[in-house]
Every structure is written in C-alpha cells, then in structure tokens.
A and B are shown apart, each in its own frame.
Chain A
Amino acid sequence: EPEVTQTPSHQVTQMGQEVILRCVPISNHLYFYWYRQILGQKVEFLVSFYNNEISEKSEIFDDQFSVERPDGSNFTLKIRSTKLEDSAMYFCASSIQPGQGYNYEQYFGPGTRLTVT
C-alpha cells in the first residue's frame, strides 16, 4: 500500500541553524501538507502546497519557514534559523488522487522529530 515517507526520522540541530525536512508524498497525490505536533499538544497545520504554490498557510508558518518541491517526488520544509520552540514532530501529509470522488482524506507520514538545542 502506498505511503508517505519522511527523512530523517530524528534531527538534532543547534539554535540558529537551518534544517531541511524531507518528504516523499504518495505517488499521484496532488496536495501536500506539513503539520507539527509539540510534545503533549495537538497536531497543528503549517502549510499546504499544490501545483508548485502554497495554497494555504497558518500563522505559525512565518518567514523562517519555506516549502519546495525540488523534483517530481520530494517535498521539503526548510526552517531557516531554528529556535528552541521549533522542537516538535513534523508530519508531512498528502491527499487526492485525480478522479476519485471527494478525496479530502489526508495521509500522514511517520514524522521527523526535530530537537533544537
């Protein structure tokens, strides 16, 4: 069964450093998302991406964040200058195969645990 994959599973970085989190969405899905979950808190939406453009973003997704689809399979989240409060699990998700009814379901990858020290 197709699934979303993410690398790395765990990333440790120092405050102020740049990190890139990588995701391979489900093949043929058209929409891609990033969510984060701070330990013990709820899952929070960061950004959605379609047709090489951001379609929606949250207040969390400020200028230090960016997303990119550098090739036909990868989808990346870059955090330019990490802060302690960026420590969280970051989940990539994807949705919608063409011609498949409503198809609003979002399928999540296993996540990258980001630790900022």
Chain B
Amino acid sequence: QKEVEQNSGPLSVPEGAIASLNCTYSDRGSQSFFWYRQYSGKSPELIMFIYSNGDKEDGRFTAQLNKASQYVSLLIRDSQPSDSATYLCAVNTGQAGTALIFGKGTTLSVSS
C-alpha cells in the first residue's frame, strides 16, 4: 500500500515567519512530488512540483526533496494570512497518466 504521511497540524505561525511543512512517502518508486494548496471547500491548487533531489525555489516557496530519506518538504517564507490553508503533499511514479497519491494534508494558520 503506497502511503504519503503528513502531520495534520494545525501549524500556527505569525505573519512574516517561515512555515515548514513536511511529508514522507513509502514507495521508493516515486519520482514526482507535488505540493497543492487547498482552501476550505475548494479544489487543490498546484503550487510547487519537484522531480530531482535538492531544492527548488519559486517566489516565497521552496520545495526540498531527499529521495534517499523519502522525504519532501515545503518552506513558505514571509508567511501571509492568505497562506492559511491546507497543504497537500502528492506523489506519483513520474509516468504519464498515473495516479497521484495524496497525504491527508497539513493545516497552516498564519496569524496577523
């Protein structure tokens, strides 16, 4: 059974701080890693993807991948109240048309 694990939170950070979200996965065959943001009652919105070990930065977001440790993380710098949402980690084997396996998500709360 392929599993993606995340702390459910809530993770509470003050405005302007760095939020760190973590995810582990069970399938060593996983090759593609995604972070989605989901506001309550809305659909998942893709915010980051990473395919290679190391860091990938996009604006205030940095994704980090360590395939040896089967670990992927998301850092949000200068957190804003609008970042308050549930962050979903998703993985797949990196083959076209294959299923994304989602974690349950971490709820982030940014206080002003």
Residues in A lying within 8 Å of B, measured CB to CB: 30-31, 33, 35, 41-45, 48-50, 55-56, 58, 89, 91, 95-96, 102-111
Contact = CB atoms under 8 A, between A and B. Distances in A.
B71 interface: no
A43 B96 contact: no
Contacts of B32: 102, 104
Contacts, number: 67
B44 A43 contact: yes
Name the residue in B44, B97, B103, B104 with the highest tally of chain A Cβ atoms < 10 Å from its Cβ: B97
A108 B99 contact: no
Given A102-B32, A105-B34, A56 B98 contact: yes
Given A91-B43, A102-B51, A104-B32, A55 B97 contact: yes
A113 B46 CA distance: 20
Interface of B: 32, 34, 36, 42-46, 49, 51, 88, 90, 92, 94-105
A67 to B, nearest CB: 13
A42 B97 contact: no
A104 B49 CA distance: 9
B97 A110 contact: no
A50 B104 contact: no
A42 B101 CA distance: 9
Contacts of A44: 102
B46 A110 contact: no
Given A102-B51, A104-B32, A104-B92, A45 B44 contact: no
